Structure 1
Amino acid sequence: MTGYDVLRQQVEQGGGLLLTTMEVLRDAHGYGKLGVHVRKAIHDALAANGLGHLPQEMPTYQYEEVRLFRLGTPIADTINAVLHPSEGGDQVLRQSAGSEAQDVLKQIRQLVCE
């Protein structure tokens, strides 16, 4: 199992989103430094393994945080809708704002706050 397989598993276990550091990504790729070419190689390897990342530009320092997410998921669709505004993206945002999960969260807040 490669480092990227482990990362993909962790994203799945985290509900489609994983907070990690550039150090972890660098180590998964097998490099020692985070130069511009290494960051590009990490970006490409993540994409090849079905993973996207935020921020869009890979951070320079090993202790900086990165969020990983599965490409082709509702989370990825929402992120893309925010990063690349379009009419289709607006619809994705409207749908995510009106989802059943939002209704459940609202009900929980009402119960907790009463």
Structure 2
Amino acid sequence: MATAVEVEHEWEYSYKDWEALKKAVDAGGGVLRVVMWELRHLEDAGRLGVHVRASISRNLLGLGLAHLPKELPSYQEQEAVIYKLGTPAAAVVDAVAGESNKEAEAALRRLNTSRDSEKLQAVTEKFAELSEILEG
């Protein structure tokens, strides 16, 4: 998770720009948990209002990334999970949150019939982490 150090009211941010965030997501296996003040900083905004959060979502999408929860939190101390689109994690999110039962069925079947047990275990752990964040 991203961390910051407060030194005389100056914050040290983990990501200098959107590309650095994308690299961190890639380095984290395509999934990264981030506190909202980090995203607010990248947006160069003072508050996490509805327009700022919409702009964050657009910037992430432009990088091939999405987030959970689907509606970003409005409080800077809350967390979001950033994930890479086109990955098994994205397929699971789409299956759970999507509107197409056919696509959900196909994604979940692929997950259940995967022969690569390490990947299956990793996806299962990520899904549990994502579910925990969605619930809390």
Q: Give the corresponding residue for 2:117.
A: 101
Structure 2 residue aligned with 1:44: 58
Query: CA–CA distance in 2 between the matches of 1:28 and 1:56?
Result: 19
Larger-gyration structure (1/2): 1
Name the % identity. Answer: 36
Q: Which has the higher helix share?
A: 1
1:9 alignment partner, SS class: helix
State the distance in 1 between where 2:119 and 2:84 align. 24
1:82 aligned residue: 96
Q: How does 1:27-66 map to 2 (within 5 A)?
A: 27-66=41-80
**Matched residue type, 1:45:** N
Q: Which residue in 2 is equivalent to 1:110?
A: none
Taking only aligned residues, the RMSD between alpha carbons, in angstroms, comes to: 2.0
Q: 1:61 to 1:78 in 2, by over 3 A?
A: same
25, 34, 37: which one aligns with 2:39: 25
Q: Distance in 2 between matches of 1:103 and 1:11?
A: 17
Question: Once superposed, which parts of structure 1, at least 4 consecutive aligned residues long, lie more than 6 Å away?
Answer: none
Unpaired stretches in structure 1, ≥5 consecutive residues: 106-114
TM-score, normalised via structure 2 length = 0.71
TM-score of the superposition, structure 1-length normalised?
A: 0.83
